[in-house]
Structure 1
Amino acid sequence: MDQQANHFESHIAELNRRVAEIISREKISGLVIHSGQPHRQFLDDLDYPFKVNPHFKAWLPLLDNPHCWLLVNGRDKPQLIFYRPVDFWHKVDELPDAFWIEHVEIKLLSKADKVAELLPNDLTHWAYIGEHLDVAEVLGFKTRNPDAVISYLHYHRASKTLYELTCMRKSNEIAIQGHIAAKNAFFNGGSEFEIQQQYLTATNQGENEVPYGNIIALNENASILHYTKLASQRPDNRYSFLIDAGANFFGYASDITRTYAFEKNIFSELIEAMDRMQLELVAMMRPGIKYVDLHILTHQKIAKILVDFDIVSGDLQGLIEQGITSVFFPHGLGHMLGLQVHDVGGFLHDERGTHIAAPDAHPFLRCTRTLAVNQVLTIEPGLYIIDSLLDGLKQDNRQSQINWKTVDQLRPFGGIRIEDNVIVHVDRNENITRDCGLH
């Protein structure tokens, strides 16, 4: 906690600097950032789990209180309108008493629909930042999520402050405790559901607190890229385990994947080869490198592994050009990470919002940025046996380049993905995940 507190003042100063720059450019008075409000389930009196506006939690680690507002203009101390109702049905949040309160001016709001009394009298030149445009309209905001402001904030959010980096290291530390517990549960014979419970217990985070729905996949389920079913029955045979799971700390996400073989075999050797390849890719990250180039290089490395393990045959470049590597590695190399798992700004060329599209041959790539200092990204190459994609190879002469016997041998294992969270520094890369002890 001390590390976050030590860096928080400079974090707020940097956010103020960004706001001052963009509101001066756009000739607006400031930003009114809405934490959000709950969404009611259809035909029910229950709400969906509340998820705070990322623009709000960029300023304060206040994650679970709807109907809060922040007023920022880049000059004055940010004003926090803190929602604290009179309510005997639910637990009401206590008044904040944390390291960050000295950096904001706090006003209390007891009734959500009375917030206008605490907002500026004239909102003509203030911009609303948030999801609930209907609320903004009722309050009288003429400017709502202006493109120039959003693009500017999203572009610069890729550059993390020291405060943010300490939060992301901590979120990795927490997630790794879960990963270790989940690995042990796998080797001790747990079902997917049981492994999930061990993960949540070890991280001390509920399924609505972790940054995304954990992927806990045994055997062939590891070939389903976003598998979230969590079978409660233990499988008859235990071949493999893929876990893609993170944690939250002060609103900052970690996103980590590991794959394990239950026994020593061709699949365990394939995991070792993928692990070496993943570390090679991490080592190539540096300021000025285009993320797209790293992704394309990954396909070259995947092609070599496919040939080395007698999964396919042919010229390496030809395997890429024919789309064969994309059958085994169909997703992108990774993405930006921060306040959101797939953090914003990954396709932005500049602060004006110029879009850099993913290459036509790699439509699922989630980042096309040029790497720069203090960016945090995931590196997560994968290799899978996905029958729906392999069926496409059977329709033409590419099928002769596939060793279907090896494919059949690997099918019960599903697939492999290895993912670390990496900070780009001036002269080195910081692999947060490995540095925190997960190998």
Structure 2
Amino acid sequence: MSNAAQLYPQHLAELQRRTADALARGGFDHLVVPSGTLHYQAFDDRDYPYAVNPQFKAWLPLTRTPGSWLVITPGQKPKLIFLQPFDYWHVVPSAPSGYWVEHFDIVVIRQPEEALQHLPGVARSAVLGEVQSALKDYAPNNPPAVVNYLEYHRGYKTPYEIAMMREATRIGVRAHRAAERAFRAGASEFGIHLVYCQAAGQDANDLPYSNIIALNEHGAVLHYTDRDRVPPKHLHSFLIDAGASHHGYASDITRTYAFDAGSEFQAMVDAVDAAQQTMCDQVRASTDYKQIHLDAHLALAGILKDFGVIKVSPEAALATGVSSAFFPHGIGHGIGLQVHDVAGFAASDAGGTIAKPDGHPYLRLTRVLEPGMVVTIEPGLYFIDMLLDEVKKNGYADSVDWARVDAFKPFGGIRIEDDVACTEAAPINLTREGFAAAA
């Protein structure tokens, strides 16, 4: 029996338990989840890439079955209404198979409207999905009490989910190693991207997010996705932020390399990498994730001070906002069924919001860490003109050695990112495990 087959029953039992509690909160008898439908572009007959409803793929590893439905009623076996249309224009989804099918009552339909005869009464159902999933008068209602409860508890990953994320990491690591080889061979950004996709065995519709493949100064664009077709005349650096998917779960991995392994920029990369591993070790039960973010600012400002880029103390750089000019994003986010997983600011499973620290608007997670949570830790240092101009406008130009900034600008920036699981004891760094296994 595979590891997934062994772990899946416990995962399903946990989802059943959460669903029973969520339905009781909302006063419903059934949870109904459409897989989602194809969306078509305005004034055209082309559809957008299909993305499965995360509430659907939480239950079973189906990610390419538009028009299907799940019905979960406490005390009963879950029902899958599986759309397998008659269609000679497109590939029809294969009949359900695998370790999970025995746990569901499965009904195969040939037309989307046939689902209506298998769905419970809408009045007593919490229907979670997009408005486009509506069938006649049967439409998603997304009751907040149910959604808040389920999304909050999605922050706690089951052993099955950790296993799926480990496999997504293994695929991503394999592709990262291929991408680094392509960089060192002189490939263009677009060429590196193609190498990555080939090594992962995944294309744009499979990957959990659009690959960031940045050479030289492009590393200073946080979400750079343009991908030049021609390599630069002189290679300085390579920043790659790219993940992979497995059975609906994501990995999210970032690495930065200098073309010259003996350069000062590589020394800075190594310093950020060492600091990042210390931050990963902070992913422990009862730790406030906001504090990891603030500690990261101090650590990164210390690196800037050590390399002569700033002339003030790390504490002064944080207090004046100078550190944010070099590290403008958050330290990370939750990850799982979605790359930026839900309920990052939730105060409880009943709703509410935990505020971000003042002056740090881009942090995506503010909860206190607990066992089962999986988060990314992704510190970065960048040389971004518009943010550095703000430092000058705000009266803190004397805090920076601008000649040192100019020396590092051609390299763009540095980001190191791992996916880390919080446990009852030491954290599990899924990404470092993946690279170690691939060595």
SS at match of 1:217: strand
SS at match of 2:351: coil
User: How far apart in 2 are the matches of 1:191 and 1:293?
Assistant: 39
The 10-residue stretch of structure 1 (282-291 or 410-419) with the greater mean CA deviation from structure 2: 282-291
User: How far apart in 1 are the matches of 2:127 and 2:419?
Assistant: 32
User: How far apart in 2 are the matches of 1:2 and 1:387?
Assistant: 51
What residue is the counterpart of 2:205 in the other structure?
A: 208
Runs of 4+ in 1 over 4 A off after TM superposition: none
User: How far apart in 1 are the matches of 2:373 and 2:106?
Assistant: 31
- Code of the residue aligned with 1:408 in structure 2: it is D
What is the TM-score with the length of structure 2 in the denominator?
0.97
Residue 338 of structure 1, aligned match among 313, 336, 341 = 336
Deviations 1:374-433 (A, max 9, x none): 110000000000001001122243111211111000000000000000011101110011
Asked whether the equivalents of residues 32 and 128 of structure 1 are also in contact (C-alpha less than 8 Å), the reply is yes
Asked whether the equivalents of residues 23 and 73 of structure 1 are also in contact (C-alpha less than 8 Å), the reply is no
Asked whether the equivalents of residues 82 and 106 of structure 2 are also in contact (C-alpha less than 8 Å), the reply is yes
Matched, 1:421 2:419: yes
SS at match of 2:165: helix
- Code of the residue aligned with 1:123 in structure 2: it is V
What residue is the counterpart of 1:127 in the other structure?
A: 126
Q: Among all aligned residue pairs of Structure 1 and Structure 2, give the percentage whose two residues are the same amino acid.
A: 44
- Code of the residue aligned with 1:47 in structure 2: it is D
User: How far apart in 2 are the matches of 1:98 and 1:199?
Assistant: 28
What is the TM-score with the length of structure 1 in the denominator?
0.97
What residue is the counterpart of 1:63 in the other structure?
A: 63
The within-5 A match list for 1:3-402 is 3-120=3-120, 122-132=121-131, 135=134, 138-141=136-139, 144-263=141-260, 264-402=262-400
Asked whether the equivalents of residues 11 and 162 of structure 1 are also in contact (C-alpha less than 8 Å), the reply is yes
User: How far apart in 1 are the matches of 2:89 and 2:394?
Assistant: 64
Asked whether the equivalents of residues 133 and 144 of structure 1 are also in contact (C-alpha less than 8 Å), the reply is no
User: How far apart in 2 are the matches of 1:216 and 1:228?
Assistant: 7
Asked whether the equivalents of residues 337 and 378 of structure 1 are also in contact (C-alpha less than 8 Å), the reply is yes
Deviations 1:284-336 (A, max 9, x none): 22100000000000111111111110001013211111100000000000000
User: How far apart in 1 are the matches of 2:78 and 2:124?
Assistant: 17
User: How far apart in 2 are the matches of 1:316 and 1:206?
Assistant: 42
User: How far apart in 2 are the matches of 1:215 and 1:153?
Assistant: 31
Gaps of 5+ in 1: none
SS at match of 2:435: coil
User: How far apart in 1 are the matches of 2:45 and 2:159?
Assistant: 42
Asked whether the equivalents of residues 189 and 228 of structure 2 are also in contact (C-alpha less than 8 Å), the reply is yes
SS at match of 1:245: strand
Asked whether the equivalents of residues 79 and 106 of structure 1 are also in contact (C-alpha less than 8 Å), the reply is yes
Asked whether the equivalents of residues 258 and 418 of structure 1 are also in contact (C-alpha less than 8 Å), the reply is yes
User: How far apart in 1 are the matches of 2:316 and 2:175?
Assistant: 41
User: How far apart in 1 are the matches of 2:400 and 2:309?
Assistant: 6
SS at match of 1:247: strand
Count, aligned residues: 436
Gaps of 5+ in 2: none
Question: What is the root-mean-square deviation of aligned Cα atoms in Å?
Answer: 1.3
The alpha carbon displacement at 1:267 in A equals 0.5
Asked whether the equivalents of residues 423 and 430 of structure 1 are also in contact (C-alpha less than 8 Å), the reply is yes
User: How far apart in 2 are the matches of 1:11 and 1:21?
Assistant: 16
- Code of the residue aligned with 2:308 in structure 1: it is D
